[in-house]
Homo-oligomer: A and B are copies of this chain.
Amino acid sequence: MIKIGIVGASGYSGSELLRFLVNHSGGLQVALCTSETYAGQGIESVLPNLRGFLSSAFEPLDLDSLKENVDVVVLAVPHKVAMSFVPQILAQGLRVVDFSADYRLGDAETYETWYHAEHTSPELMPQAVYGLPERYRAKIRDAQLVANPGCYPTSAILAAMPLVAQGAVELDSIIVDSKSGISGAGPKPRENTHYPNREANVVAYNIGVHRHTPEIEQELSAVASEPVRVTFTPHLVPMTRGILSTVYMHLTEKMSTEEALSIYSSFYEREPFVRVLPLGTYPETKAVLGSNYCDVGLEMDTRTRRVVAMAAIDNLGKGAAGAVVQNLNLMFGCNETDGLKMPGMMP
């Protein structure tokens, strides 16, 4: 059994990871849950859905003793906090999966531009593997440090990648319009997560400056082998979970919806968690609710030679905790789908 330590296990990503792992039958086991806020409190009293599953308490973080208790550390803490822990954990020989953005970008300069913070361990950035199995499966298996992708980037990259890889897209034409549930903002109550402010309300935010932008660009640039810039606009819509990203791309040459779908189907043929939808069917967030699936669909706007490609994920599933389980499975030689073969919850 591989023993997992989750640092920051009371937040949404951490607790969703617990929800996935309590029934993982393939050799992964939760050995330690830390929480700054709830240290000493029973996990069940903080996370009532898990009542009956975990009788232990949240513990304070003791970086020095991790090695004695766990084989791998999952960091479910904010950016900047993550990089304050990672070097010390890696130094103990432990492997790390990091939910945060601290090691997703390839260079410190881009990080500092978008996050307005100095990166304190830039030397680790090159060795971190971007934890998107659909691109880096082999590297993830051997990685010491996996940077789990952001929720928006996961949906945007999976929606755009096959046609970008094909060279079929004008690279300066990519626009990502994302609609997200509120849980992406985390468990801490704020103005913009206050129920009356979000019910029956849709609004865009962080236009042009959202920190997931460079992550999308980095990966699509790598796919294209050319620099890609995207316009990315996230919106909040009145639901708790789920992201639908609608990606607009101008094609270099005319293409039918059927042709494009065929490219997508081939591209994702062996992917266990990407489902390419048939002609005329578009992704809906509810079909992947609570799961690790990403549904991808598309339609050609033939009059303007634009493709409208869409991806739906659960931001806490494939967009966070599900991806971590998938990465842990790869890192520790489990079956990649262990603990993840739950369908979305519908209706």
Contact = CB atoms under 8 A, between A and B. Distances in A.
A137 interface: no
A340 to B, nearest CB: 10
Interface string A24-54: 0100000000000000000001011111110
Contacts of A238: 195, 199, 237-239
A231 B308 contact: yes
Contacts of A122: none
A80 interface: no
Nearest to A232: B301
B299 A208 contact: yes
Is the interface on chain A under 10, 10 to 19, 20 to 34, or 35 or more residues?
35 or more
Given A187-B194, A195-B194, A207-B282, A200 B240 contact: yes
A175 interface: yes
Contacts of A191: 189
* Copies of the protein in its oligomer: 4
B51 A295 contact: yes
Contacts of A205: 282
A280 B207 CA distance: 9
A347 B187 contact: yes
Nearest to A299: B207
B286 A49 contact: yes
A182 B204 contact: no
A199 B345 CA distance: 12
A122 B282 CA distance: 36
A205 B287 CA distance: 16
A149 interface: no
B290 A345 contact: yes
A337 to B, nearest CB: 10
Contacts of A308: 204, 207-208, 231, 233
Interface in A271-292: 275, 277-278, 281-291
B182 A196 contact: yes
B200 A200 contact: yes
A303 interface: yes
A15 B286 CA distance: 14
Interface stretch (A67-75, A242-250, A258-266, A327-335): A242-250
B306 A175 contact: yes
A183 B196 contact: yes
B347 A183 contact: yes
B12 A347 contact: yes
A179 interface: yes
A53 B287 CA distance: 13
Contact of A179 (B179, B207, B231, B293): B179
A246 B291 CA distance: 29
Contact of A196 (B187, B201, B300, B304): B187
A8 to B, nearest CB: 16
A346 interface: yes
Contacts of A229: 303-304
20 contacts: A19-B345, A48-B295, A49-B287, A49-B346, A51-B275, A172-B304, A179-B179, A179-B235, A187-B347, A188-B194, A193-B194, A195-B195, A195-B198, A197-B286, A200-B286, A202-B284, A203-B283, A203-B312, A233-B246, A235-B244
